[in-house]
């Protein structure tokens, strides 16, 4: 707006000066009365007085024009620098965006790889857990079968010992009853009975020794059963420990 105003003022001054020159140069035939030499000299003198003012004003306008031109050049230089900086920023932004996209792609690739590895690891762990569970189930089944077999053998051996002891007791009881009934026989048979009694005493002693032997065997059997019971208790403790370790190793849902 300042440049336009200055240009307008300059054009106005030039137009005014031109009008005055035109008026002063009118032919004598057109205004003979007005254009006297005195009038022309007066106008010429007036124009000479106004000419320095117009020249100073023209100089001022030139200076302002030079200043505005310098400012315009500076603004154009600043604008060019701004455009250059903007282009550099846009280029750097494009590079940063490309780098970010590359990093994002790399992260996606690493994530997909990690996810695949995690899936394979989880599958391996599930398979390992299934194998361990199957193995522990088989071990528990084998231990139960062994315990059941030992219990069956123990019950069978115990029943055999009871039967043997009952048979021996029945035999001794029969012999004692026979001896008692023999005491009621005739006196003639007493001597024979005494001899028989001696034999029976011997047999009884043998029977008692046999009973003691059976008792010793029974005690040994009971000791064996106690040892097997302790071994079974140890097996149960080991089984319980294996089950606890299996439960601890089982992954949470």
Is the residue at 189 inside a domain? Answer: yes
How many helices and strands (H and E) does the chain possess? 3, 0
Mean pLDDT score across all residues of the chain:
77
Give the domain range for residue 169.
132-249
pLDDT in tens, 12-66: 544 454 444 444 444 444 444 456 888 888 887 787 777 888 788 888 888 888 8
Residues 62 and 146 in one domain: no
- CB contact set of 136 (below 8 Å; sequence gap of 6+): 242, 243, 246
Please indicate, yes or no, if residue 101 is contained in any of the structural domains: no
Which residue, 163, 172, 171, 178, is CA-closest to 218? 163
Residue 153 belongs to a domain: yes
Cα–Cα separations (whole angstroms), residue 205 to 169, 173, 200, 201, 213: 14, 14, 8, 6, 12
Please tell me whether residues 140 and 211 are part of one structural domain.
yes
Residues 6+ apart with CB under 8 A from 21: 47
Please state the rounded mean pLDDT for residues 154-175. Answer: 82
**Count of the separate structural domains present in the chain:** 2
Residue 194 belongs to some domain of the structure: yes
Answer yes or no: are the C-beta atoms of 232 and 147 closer than 8 Å: yes
- Please report the pLDDT score of residue 158 as a whole number: 82
SS3 (DSSP) at 31: coil
Would the CA dihedral through 37, 40, 46, 50 be positive or negative? negative
Give the phi and the psi of residue 157 in degrees, each rounded to 5.
-65, -40
Contact 128, 251 (CB under 8 A): no
Confidence label for 182 from pLDDT (cuts 50, 70 and 90)? low
Whether residue 67 is found in the same domain as residue 146: no
């Amino acid at each position: 707006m300042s440049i336009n105003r200055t240009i307008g003022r300059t054009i106005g001054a030039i137009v005014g000066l031109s009008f005055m020159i035109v008026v002063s140069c009118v032919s004598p035939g057109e205004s003979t009365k007005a254009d006297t030499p005195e009038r022309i000299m007066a106008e010429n003198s007036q124009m000479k007085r106004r000419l320095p003012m117009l020249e100073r004003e023209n100089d001022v306008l030139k200076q302002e024009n030079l200043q505005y031109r310098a400012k315009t050049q500076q603004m154009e230089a600043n604008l060019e620098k701004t455009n250059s900086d903007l282009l550099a920023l846009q280029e750097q932004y494009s590079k940063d965006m490309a780098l970010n996209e590359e990093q994002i792609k790399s992260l996606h690739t690493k994530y997909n790889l990690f996810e695949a590895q995690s899936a394979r690891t989880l599958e391996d762990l599930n398979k390992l857990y299934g194998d361990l569970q199957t193995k522990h189930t088989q071990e528990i089944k084998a231990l139960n079968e062994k315990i059941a077999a030992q219990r069956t053998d123990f019950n069978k051996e115990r029943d055999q010992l009871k039967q043997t002891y009952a048979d021996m007791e029945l035999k001794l009881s029969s012999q004692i009853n026979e001896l008692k009934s023999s005491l009621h026989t005739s006196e003639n048979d007493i001597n024979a009975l005494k001899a028989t009694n001696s034999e029976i005493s011997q047999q009884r002693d043998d029977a008692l020794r046999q009973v003691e032997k059976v008792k010793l065997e029974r005690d040994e059997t009971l000791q064996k059963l106690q040892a097997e019971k302790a071994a079974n208790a140890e097996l149960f403790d080991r089984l319980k420990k294996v089950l606890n370790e299996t439960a601890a190793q089982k992954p949470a849902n």
